[in-house]
Structure 1
Amino acid sequence: MVKFLHVADVHLGFDRYDSRERTKDFFRAFQDVLQRYAIDEQVDFVLIAGDLFEHRTLQPAILNQAQLCLQDLKAANIPVFAIEGNHDNRPYGIVTSWLKYLSEWRLLTLLEPGNVAAGESFYCPWDEDRRRGGYIDLACGVRILGSNWYGAAAPRAIEQIADAMAELPPGPEHTVLMFHHGLAGQIARYAGALRYDDLLPLRQAGVDYLALGHIHKHYSVDGWVHNPGSLEANNVEEAQYERGAYLVELNGQGVQARLQRDYYQRPIARLRLLARGHESLRELEAAALSLLEEAIELGQVDPVQAPLLEFRIEGQVGFDRLEFDTRALQQALQQRSNAIICLLKYEVETVGYASPLAEEANRRQIEYDIFTDVLAGHRDYKKRAPELAHGLMDLKERQLQGHAEEALYAFVETLLEPGSQASSTTPAVTEEK
């Protein structure tokens, strides 16, 4: 029986939120996964199917993180095989990369096809002295093949890989291919994904285990296509994805791949408050803090674990949306939740009217309240809202009584003049019989 660990999309050096602690989370996750499911499980080897790093250009501390993790595996006599992903591949025309550097220092084995345009074979066996090669046959009974990052050319590259595999000499019992690309239908808004039929030439060429990367959500198809997802979430939206590392066994019965998720991960909490348009500034702030307290009581947010918190306020507000002090609320939410990062998403619309209407309100009272709220939302009219609301009610009555258009326009012009008393007889808001 062969046992190995399959990880992808480690993204060491992740820095999207400009937080050193969040950047360290990706190192802690990688280190913990390797200890639990590679070293403790005594696997035969580890696969890294692309995107070990977040960036092609590395800070020294990030390279050191990779070296520390890989040195632990080397000390345990566990070989590591890797390919480049779209985040850490070398730019066109550059002959080296940080993965190649780690390979030359014998901390991992970078498997990559040869340069066919330069007369090299697509797949050459691994040369330990030259530290180059596209595939390697292991004594445990597995042939491992590498690939490059192909982007939109992936379907054509698959055909090329399958043809090259057909030219290889007979190998061990099991064949594993690392390939950094995504499969269609797994996540929304992903252009350029492969169709399942695009992968079938690889199966026909003898691939028993296709070790994918790139999409940060775990999935497997037909017992031979496997993508573990990223070890850590690269954004709060990815909190909804199941992801982790595959602990895989290959034996006479086939492939047994078990997704492992019990390792260090920063908890992510996402809360949503719906504003309905009748809350005041203070009431909306109080509602937000109350929602957080409820989430803490229910265990959805644990201040002890210093989560990453996303708090969304959506819906409608009955005041100028810019009057709300989002910075002060964000600070209060972060302090109460002890969040390492608090992302406050304030995505509301200012409604035309927002005053709560009493159940016993008559028609004229409702008209007055609506007119007042519409005017209060306008920067030029809000200071005269009550006066102008009565004027609009008078205008409506005059129109219903059949006043001439010229007279109505003259009334409006007078009404809008500052200090105007156009409505000589202000309609009383009385209950209709």
Structure 2
Amino acid sequence: MARFLHVSDIHLGFDRYDNKIRTQDFFYALQDALDKYAIAESVDFVVISGDLFEHRNILPNILNQAQLCFQPLQDAGIPILAIEGNHDNRPYGTKTSWLRYLSDWGVVKLLEPGDVAAGEEFYRHWDEETRRGGYIDLPCGVRVLGSNWYGSTAPKAIESIASAIQALPPGPAHTVLLFHHGVEGQISRYQGALRYSELLPLREAGVDYLALGHIHKQYEIEGWIFNPGSTEANSVEEASFPRGVYLVELSADGVKADLKTDYCQRPIVRLRHKVTEHETMDQVEQGAIARIQAAVDMGKIDPSVEPIVELRIEGSIGFNRLDLDVRQLKDQLQHMSGALIFLLKFDAEEMTFDEYVADGSDRTVIEREVFHSLLSANATYKKRAGELAQGLINLKDEYRHGRSDDELYQFVQTLIHTDEL
């Protein structure tokens, strides 16, 4: 029996939300997962099916993170077999990448098919001296094959890979293929996913375990296709996706893959707050504050762990949304929740109130109806819309008659009756 750990889409160097602590989360997730499920479990090897890094060009500290994570595996004699994904593959026209660098220095083994157009074999056995090769036969009885990032040409590449596998000399009892691509039907709004039927040539060629990456959601198909998802959520939208790392056993009885999720990951909490056009701006603010406080009181938000929190305000509002100080409200909610990152999404729409104006109406009637429509759509003034609409027309007349600024101000104060609103 052979045992290995399957991880993918690690994205070291993740920099969305421009938060250094959040960038470190991706390092801690990988480090903890490897410690718990590779080192502690004494696996035979580890596979990375693409996107070790977030970017093709990385800072020195991000490269250092990868080396810190992999050093304990090297010390334990656990080989790391990897392929490039779309995030970390070499730019067009270049011959190297940071994964290639790690491979050349003996940190990982980057398994890549040869350049057939240049006369190379599609699959050559891994050569420890040259640090090159497309597949490797491990002492634990597993053949592991690599692949490239193929994008839209993946269906055609699968045919070549299947043919190349069948042309290889007989090998160990089990075959694992690393392939960075997604299968249709797993997440919405994903273009270019492969159909299951397009992957079948690989199974017919003898692949027992197809180690996928690319889609940040865990899934398993027909007991031979496995995607663990990303090690950390790359966005709040991914918070609901199952994800983790696969601890896999290959034996004469088949494949046993257990998804492991109990490692360092930052909690993400997504909340919604519904508002109506009858609420004033103060009521909307207080409602949002109450929503966060309730989540804290119920234990849904634990400020001590500095979660990522998203509050989405939805519905209709009866005031100008620009009047709401969203930044100040966001800062207050972030302080209450203890969130490392607080995302306030204000998706409520301003209420509109249209009046019918008959053809041929005079200017005064049209003005009154326009004022009435605007005031009726405002939660603060809607109950006195008719009175205030006439008052605005009177204010205009007072201005045209040359009233002073102080007199106009006093007129407005009397009209509004601020203490009664």
State the TM-score bracket (shorter-chain normalisation): 0.7 to 0.9
Q: SS of the counterpart of 1:17?
A: helix
TM-superposition CA deviations, 1:339-363 (whole Å, max 9, x none): 0001111111110259xxxxxxxxx
TM-superposition CA deviations, 1:328-386 (whole Å, max 9, x none): 110001101110001111111110259xxxxxxxxxxxxxxx9876222789xx99953
* Structure 2: 5+ residue stretches without partners: 355-368, 399-421
Q: How does 1:41-80 map to 2 (within 5 A)?
A: 41-80=41-80
Q: Name the counterpart of 1:153.
A: 153
Q: What residue identity is the alignment partner of 2:20?
A: R
Distance 1:257 1:161 in 2: 24
Q: SS of the counterpart of 1:53?
A: coil
Q: SS of the counterpart of 1:54?
A: coil
Q: SS of the counterpart of 1:312?
A: strand
Normalised by the length of structure 2, the TM-score is 0.87
Distance 2:370 2:240 in 1: 44
Q: What residue identity is the alignment partner of 1:216?
A: H
* Contact 1:318–1:353 under 8 Å retained in 2: no
How much has 1:244 moved relative to structure 2? 0.2
How much has 1:241 moved relative to structure 2? 0.3
Residues 1:307 and 2:307 aligned together = yes
Q: What residue identity is the alignment partner of 1:375?
A: L
Distance 1:371 1:298 in 2: 46
How much has 1:387 moved relative to structure 2? 4.7
Distance 2:62 2:162 in 1: 35
Q: Name the counterpart of 1:99.
A: 99
Distance 1:215 1:332 in 2: 35
Distance 2:290 2:46 in 1: 47
Distance 2:319 2:333 in 1: 22
Q: What residue identity is the alignment partner of 2:106?
A: R
Distance 2:98 2:13 in 1: 13
Q: Name the counterpart of 2:375.
A: 376
Distance 2:164 2:58 in 1: 34
Distance 1:140 1:134 in 2: 18
How much has 1:298 moved relative to structure 2? 1.5
Residues 1:124 and 2:129 aligned together = no
TM-superposition CA deviations, 1:119-159 (whole Å, max 9, x none): 11111111111100000001110000000000000000000
Distance 1:30 1:377 in 2: 56
* Contact 2:219–2:226 under 8 Å retained in 1: yes
Distance 1:388 1:289 in 2: 32
Q: What residue identity is the alignment partner of 2:170?
A: P
Q: Name the counterpart of 2:232.
A: 232
Q: Name the counterpart of 1:348.
A: 348
How much has 1:277 moved relative to structure 2? 1.0
Q: SS of the counterpart of 2:106?
A: coil
Normalised by the length of structure 1, the TM-score is 0.85
* Structure 1: 5+ residue stretches without partners: 355-369, 392-414, 421-433
Q: Name the counterpart of 1:419.
A: 397
Decide whether aligned partners of structure 1 residues 373 and 254 sit closer, same or farther in structure 2, where only a CA change above 3 A counts.
farther
Q: How does 1:310-325 map to 2 (within 5 A)?
A: 310-325=310-325
Moved more, 273-282 or 102-111: 273-282
Q: SS of the counterpart of 2:347?
A: strand
Q: SS of the counterpart of 2:16?
A: coil
Distance 1:244 1:155 in 2: 27
Decide whether aligned partners of structure 1 residues 373 and 341 sit closer, same or farther in structure 2, where only a CA change above 3 A counts.
farther
How much has 1:418 moved relative to structure 2? 3.3
Decide whether aligned partners of structure 1 residues 373 and 342 sit closer, same or farther in structure 2, where only a CA change above 3 A counts.
farther
Distance 2:218 2:142 in 1: 24
Distance 2:371 2:292 in 1: 34
Q: Name the counterpart of 1:184.
A: 184
Distance 2:303 2:395 in 1: 56
Q: How does 1:245-284 map to 2 (within 5 A)?
A: 245-284=245-284
Q: Name the counterpart of 1:402.
A: none
* Contact 1:320–1:377 under 8 Å retained in 2: no
Q: How does 1:215-226 map to 2 (within 5 A)?
A: 215-226=215-226
Q: SS of the counterpart of 1:46?
A: strand
Distance 2:372 2:309 in 1: 34
Decide whether aligned partners of structure 1 residues 27 and 274 sit closer, same or farther in structure 2, where only a CA change above 3 A counts.
same
* Contact 1:182–1:214 under 8 Å retained in 2: yes
Q: What residue identity is the alignment partner of 1:338?
A: G
Percent of pairs with identical residues: 60
Moved more, 268-277 or 78-87: 268-277
* Contact 1:142–1:176 under 8 Å retained in 2: yes
Q: Name the counterpart of 2:133.
A: 133
Count of matched residue pairs: 382
Q: What residue identity is the alignment partner of 1:270?
A: R
Q: What residue identity is the alignment partner of 1:374?
A: S
Residues 1:195 and 2:160 aligned together = no
Distance 2:207 2:109 in 1: 20
* Contact 2:353–2:377 under 8 Å retained in 1: no
RMSD, matched Cα: 2.3
* Contact 2:126–2:135 under 8 Å retained in 1: yes
